[in-house]
Structure 1
Amino acid sequence: MGNSNLRLYFIDAIRAWAILMMLQGHFVDGLLDTAYRDNTNTYYSIWRYFRGITAPVFFTVSGFIFTYLLIKADNVGLSNPRVKKGVKRGLQLIIIGYLLRLNIFGLLNGQIYDSFYLVDVLHCIGVSILGIIGIYLLTTKRSRYFFPALLLIFTLVLFVMEPYYKQYPHHYMPSFLANYLTKAHGSVFTIIPWFGYASIGAFLSVWFHRFRNSTYLYPVAILSFLGIGTLLIYFSSPFFLSLSNLTGMALFSKIYLNNYLFIRLGDVFIVFAVFMFFRRFLTHNTLLNIGKSTLSIYVIHFIILYGSFTGLGLYRYFHHSLAPSIVIPSAVAFMIVTTILSLKYEANKAQIKIHFATGVKAVSNKLAVWLGMESFPGLGIIWSKSKTSLLRLFRMVKN
């Protein structure tokens, strides 16, 4: 097994770890009785801290792996095939994010619930991919240092200015667009500041790619990540407090009082360092396949836990009602079942697509006959085009 192949294995391993952490995190957070949410409890505090690491790691890894593949291609600019694939992938994630919030019963009543317009992880990662592509295209004809420099600047600006822009509800925008910028309407994630983690992941991937053949890449990277991570976790808050005292600027004081972005970035660096250190032991096919199946795992877990399409998920029946003695083993079972279903889906993806497309076509034909559409040429043409659009949408979402 060549050393070059090991370079991305640790990334898939991190993705696998992050998605499994997300599964148990969502399950426990959604179903654990509020009576047991005691921050003075050591076990709960540890769990809560590590749960907070998951999303920053996931966004950073997403930016890393996409950008690594983007700059790995021989062609540059619009001729780079990864640009087209990336645009398709970004739009795909946004569409899936909205589809997972659809409620069939609401649609049958002619309603689209407000929750449909809320922004979540998939929306933000999709927009982040499109953002990275935009920065890449703007910098292809400039110095090779301009692309990573701009990525780093985006991260720093988004993180430093967060105390100011987070307070704006953006009432001047339609709510479905404002949801990408503010949590005022109920969005779980917003593109700012979370794009900052994707852009720092993209920044790191550029340097990994440039020094990919260096013998000292991993020793230097591990030590650097451990050092930077430690500094961010333990010294970034005192640093901003010092800046506040030195300059008198309220901005630095606000960062000091709620310095979660830089501390979590430090956590991300530590996680990267740990996985890089153990990279030679993280090459088991199952682990890597989990890392490559994160989208399927996310979709399946969303359906089971939150009841996508029907509203009939575990969250509806057991929301904040279970004791730890039930939640903990149930969370483990939930992780196992969701992962197995996802891996089974990935192994039989082609056949499932064919069967689904055939089923959609059969049902649509019967529905057309039942509605008498075949008797009216004009309506028949509309129905035919609708079927074609539906099948195209399914192929775009699932490819």
Structure 2
Amino acid sequence: MKNNKYRLYFVDAMRAWAILMMLQGHFVDGLLDNAYRDNSNLAFSIWQYFRGITAPVFFTVSGFIFTYLLVRGDQQGMENPRVKKGIKRGLQLLFIGYLLRTNIFGLLKGEIYSSFYLVDVLHCIGLSILGIIGIYIFSSTKKKFVLPLILFATTIILFVLEPQYKIMDHIYLPEMLANYFTKANGSVFTIFPWFGYATFGAFLSLIFTRFKDYKHLYPVAITTAFIAGLSLVFYSSPFVNYLGQTTGLQLFADLYKNNYLFIRLGNVLVVFGVFMTLRRFMMNSTVLKIGSSTLSIYISHFVILYGSLTGLGFYAFLHHSLSPYIVVPGALIFMVACVYTALKYEDNKVVIKTKAGEWLQQLSTNAEPWIAFSFRLIKDTLFRVRVTVIKLFRLAKN
């Protein structure tokens, strides 16, 4: 494998780890019987804690990778070709997010189920990419420090204010839009506060870009990641409590009661530190391929587990019904199946898209005479209806 000194292989490896953690997390959480969900059980508690790290890592890495590529070239603002690609990618993720929640059987009945409007991780990552692009374009004409400052400030503000906006139900908005801001209707994720992890990842990418040629980049980055990460995990709550007692602001008191965002941010930094430390062992081609195929893996897992498009997935038939002795090996098999399916698709993506294009073209060609006939039939029918209506009006007038 060709070694690109500017490619951050450890980030690809982190993304691979995050998607695999997500696969097993969704499988176990969806199928494990409630009788075995015992927080006093050490194994379950450890699993639950690490499962909570997955989404923050995924959002942070997504923001990191996108922004790292966005600012790598010399062109700025709208002249940057990555802006157009990013907008396309963001909209694509939104489209796929809704597509995966589409139920064909419902459409055949002329009905769109309410689950179609729920917001999931793809929606939020897509919007996060668009949001980062917006911040990038706004700051492209400003001083260089403005972009990282806005990104970092966005993270802090979203995390600090989370107790205030999470209780809003946004009933004044259409449900489809409200689902991006509240979980009241069943959304799995909301754009806030998760956008904060994406902006923090974007902020980190700017730091790496700025010091990419620095001789001691990794020793300094690893040390900083561990110190900052562990400080957030163990000391962010006492610090927030101190701010609450000192200022008397209810905002900090509410944040102290559930300071999960800053703690998880600390977890993310520790994960960064671990993967940077082991970066020399993160160049396995399969691992990197998994890291670059996360969208395909996500789609395959959604179809198999949740029955996307049909509703016929493991979740529908085995929801909270299996013992750990079945769930654990089942999760491993599920991970292998999803990854294998996705990587096979990636290997044959060009051929599949070509064949699909040819099939659609042939379908369009074959359907063209019928479409033309249908239009003529509709046109003739409308003309006859018009003539009939005119005659009726004339009779009524006479």
Both proteins in one fold, TM over 0.5: yes
Tell me the secondary structure at the aligned position of residue 212 of structure 2. Answer: coil
Structure 1 partner of 2:354: 354
Which amino acid counterpart does residue 215 of structure 2 have in structure 1? T
Which amino acid counterpart does residue 85 of structure 1 have in structure 2? K
Structure 2 partner of 1:118: 118
Write out per-residue CA displacement over residues 96-116 of structure 1, whole angstroms, 9 at most, x where no aligned residue.
000000000000000000000
Q: Deviation of residue 247 (structure 1)?
A: 1.1
User: Any conservation in 2 of the 1:4–1:213 contact (CA below 8 Å)?
Assistant: no
User: Any conservation in 2 of the 1:120–1:189 contact (CA below 8 Å)?
Assistant: yes
Write out per-residue CA displacement over residues 34-79 of structure 1, whole angstroms, 9 at most, x where no aligned residue.
1000000000000000000000000000000000000001100100
Structure 2 partner of 1:384: none
Quote the Cα distance in structure 2 between the aligned partners of 1:359 and 1:3: 39
- Unaligned stretches of 5+ in structure 2? 380-398
Which amino acid counterpart does residue 81 of structure 1 have in structure 2? P
Which amino acid counterpart does residue 26 of structure 1 have in structure 2? H
Structure 2 partner of 1:227: 227
Structure 2 partner of 1:275: 275
Write out per-residue CA displacement over residues 231-256 of structure 1, whole angstroms, 9 at most, x where no aligned residue.
00000000111111111111111111
Instruction: Label 1:366 to 1:104 Cα distance change in 2 as closer, same or farther (>3 A).
Output: farther
Sequence identity percentage:
60
Quote the Cα distance in structure 1 between the aligned partners of 2:160 and 2:211: 29
Instruction: Label 1:109 to 1:269 Cα distance change in 2 as closer, same or farther (>3 A).
Output: same
Structure 1 partner of 2:47: 47
User: Any conservation in 2 of the 1:6–1:280 contact (CA below 8 Å)?
Assistant: no
Instruction: Label 1:76 to 1:314 Cα distance change in 2 as closer, same or farther (>3 A).
Output: same
Q: Deviation of residue 368 (structure 1)?
A: 7.0
Write out per-residue CA displacement over residues 320-378 of structure 1, whole angstroms, 9 at most, x where no aligned residue.
00000000000000000110111110010011112223334445666777xx5342345
Which amino acid counterpart does residue 5 of structure 1 have in structure 2? K
Tell me the secondary structure at the aligned position of residue 8 of structure 2. Answer: helix
Which amino acid counterpart does residue 187 of structure 1 have in structure 2? S
Which amino acid counterpart does residue 347 of structure 2 have in structure 1? A
Structure 2 partner of 1:373: 371
Structure 2 partner of 1:145: 145
Pair 1:253-2:277 in alignment: no
Kindly name which structure, 1 or 2, has the bigger radius of gyration based on alpha carbons.
Answer: 2
Pair 1:77-2:59 in alignment: no
User: Any conservation in 2 of the 1:151–1:200 contact (CA below 8 Å)?
Assistant: yes
Structure 1 partner of 2:395: none
User: Any conservation in 2 of the 1:93–1:122 contact (CA below 8 Å)?
Assistant: yes
Quote the Cα distance in structure 2 between the aligned partners of 1:318 and 1:332: 16
Give the structure-1-normalised TM-score.
0.92
User: Any conservation in 2 of the 1:373–1:380 contact (CA below 8 Å)?
Assistant: no
Quote the Cα distance in structure 1 between the aligned partners of 2:168 and 2:223: 39
State how many pairs are aligned.
379
Write out per-residue CA displacement over residues 254-304 of structure 1, whole angstroms, 9 at most, x where no aligned residue.
111101000000000000000000001100000000000000000010000
User: Any conservation in 2 of the 1:229–1:266 contact (CA below 8 Å)?
Assistant: yes
- Unaligned stretches of 5+ in structure 1? 382-399
Give the structure-2-normalised TM-score.
0.92
Which amino acid counterpart does residue 321 of structure 1 have in structure 2? S
Structure 2 partner of 1:396: none
Instruction: Label 1:224 to 1:93 Cα distance change in 2 as closer, same or farther (>3 A).
Output: same
Which amino acid counterpart does residue 204 of structure 2 have in structure 1? L
Instruction: Label 1:293 to 1:112 Cα distance change in 2 as closer, same or farther (>3 A).
Output: same
